[in-house]
Structure 1
């Protein structure tokens, strides 16, 4: 067999082997790999490249080596799931850098970190003052996670005492000009509804690159032709406008009538509707 053909065959074989090993060991981004997994992956790549280019080496020897280096982290991972001691050794554990607003100098030294490097990591989190931090830990993957002091944390709806409805993930119902029936049915909608909504927007299915339905049942689309402008959905603003009109009408009715009982009824319902409007306004604004 010519050398070039031998290299092609070896490359294809190892590509398949590496693909299988990767699928078996699972999906992890580079910054999520433990040190053990990183070293194993680096070694696997080195072995594969060496066996591919060095035609004097036997291909099955390289495959055996790759399988060993690929399976070992998997076995170690299974064991570490059952034993925290093994998990701490194999995957490592976090190191506290800031606790109760105080820098842990000894922990910095043990991880070979300087103050400048700590400040640099904090700046990547948009934090420029140590005094803003309550707690910070360097995770085993090298990422710094930070808890700000309570007064420096952003306000949430819970802090303001505002009740907000839960949001569901948007469903992609059109992709590359084709309707996806399964996610469409998941939202409790059908093709007739979808075609009606597209007509409101003034577009056809064939022109839609991507279409999604949000948790409120509102359709948004992205077209193949970026020069075309799509009309903004009007359902939510229309609902808000209708509610405000009803509330204004109730106030007018209360002022116009001379019957005390009717005046009181209109006034009470106007106040109830105003409270409802205040709650839903953030949700109904585009």
Structure 2
């Protein structure tokens, strides 16, 4: 196996567009990497990196980067200035929050932050209007900002295994949404506005099991499947059933 030094020397001399430093037992990013100005796709996955240097912004052509499976507690602040970046994978780390101004990433279409320690997303997240695929499973999220409804090109939303108790009505603005996974949260209801998306129609995927849904919602999901569930959300009956369920709770108290 060639050494990291050899890989980077070859990449720089050949103007390589792909640099693969997967599973190299790296504890630090070698400075020589930032001399490979031609790189468009970079893999730093499965190492022992505790941080990514701010110098990564020097890679002006970088479109696709993976930090999967490291020891990162944060992303570099300079990531917001990486104008060519389209695909960012930083799953299986220890990230607790995103850099200030993260929503300024101008061309991001794919973001995977699964299996981290995120507790919240800021309103600035709503500026990622080019985003098409968002993966946030296995974090510590309790809510989503209403501004997520501004991600009008979003096709895929994965929120499994968080602590989310309610969803913003603004999710109904996601007219491109066709794949949505919500299982393993603390949801009791689903906003009726979600029925304004394509979800529930042919070729779409929606999952909400392992949530403490109100019994009538769980019954509809079990008996009528996704199609029946979204038919209920679109009906006038839904609001009445929610009110009835709420009234029943108050009487028990």
Q: What TM-score results when the alignment is normalised by the length of structure 2?
A: 0.22
Larger Rg: 1
Q: What TM-score results when the alignment is normalised by the length of structure 1?
A: 0.20
